[in-house]
Every structure is written in structure tokens, then in C-alpha cells.
Amino acid sequence: AQSVAQPEDQVNVAEGNPLTVKCTYSVSGNPYLFWYVQYPNRGLQFLLKYITGDNLVKGSYGFEAEFNKSQTSFHLKKPSALVSDSALYFCAVRGNSGGYQKVTFGTGTKLQVIP
């Protein structure tokens, strides 16, 4: 069965510092990987995705993610955090399970950027 692990429930980072939100996955076949963000009282928003190609994927709001096949990881990164980046971040993987495709989300990581 496919799965996604986000090992940190919360990540605290000072404004202006680089941030990393970790994600590891398990899936049969080639992974399709996504990052979504959920701001308070707002819906889930797409940040970026990896399907194939360059291991470094760039997305919205200055975020990027690094795909590492050997470590089955897809960590989200940003060089300089903003207070407005504070939100709940979800990693997701699309893969085959029991003859169907499905999307499995991680449990989410709350990012707190401290001014």
C-alpha cells in the first residue's frame, strides 16, 4: 500500500531563514508527488509537483522541492521564510493501489515562521 510520511507535526523557523518541510513516500512504480498548502480558513492550494525530469522542482511563492529517488523523499524548501508562509503543508503521492489510482496525503506539517 502506498503511504506518505511527514515526520514533523510542526516546524518553527525564524523569518528570513531557510526552511525545510520533510516528506518521504512509498509507492509502486514511478511516483507522482505533490505539495499542497492550507492557510487558515482557506482551502487547499497546489504548490508544486514532480512527475519526471529534473529532481529540483520549482513552484509557487518561491517554494521548491527536491526529489530523491534513493531516499524516497520529496522535501519542500524555501531559501528565505516569510511570516505569511505560516500554514499547514501537505505532501501527497499518486500511485496504483489495488488496481486503482489514488492520491494519498501525509498528515500535514504546521509551519510557523517567527518574526
Partner 1 sequence: KAGVTQTPRYLIKTRGQQVTLSCSPISGHRSVSWYQQTPGQGLQFLFEYFSETQRNKGNFPGRFSGRQFSNSRSEMNVSTLELGDSALYLCASSAWTLDTQYFGPGTRLTVL
Q: If you search the block for the grid coordinates 509557487, which residue do you land on?
A: 60
- Smallest separation (angstroms) from partner 1 to the CB of 45: 7
Question: Does the protein bind partner 1 through residue 110 (CB under 8 A)?
Answer: no
Phi, psi angle pair for 61, to nearest 5°: 55, 25
Question: Does the protein bind partner 1 through residue 102 (CB under 8 A)?
Answer: yes
Question: Does the protein bind partner 1 through residue 3 (CB under 8 A)?
Answer: no
Question: Does the protein bind partner 1 through residue 26 (CB under 8 A)?
Answer: no
Question: Does the protein bind partner 1 through residue 59 (CB under 8 A)?
Answer: no
- Is 101 in contact with 94 (CB distance < 8 Å)? yes
Q: How many helices (H) and strands (E) does the chain have?
A: 0, 12
Q: List beta partners, residue 26.
A: 3
The residue ranges that bind partner 1 (CB under 8 A) are 32, 34, 36, 42-46, 49, 90, 94, 100-108
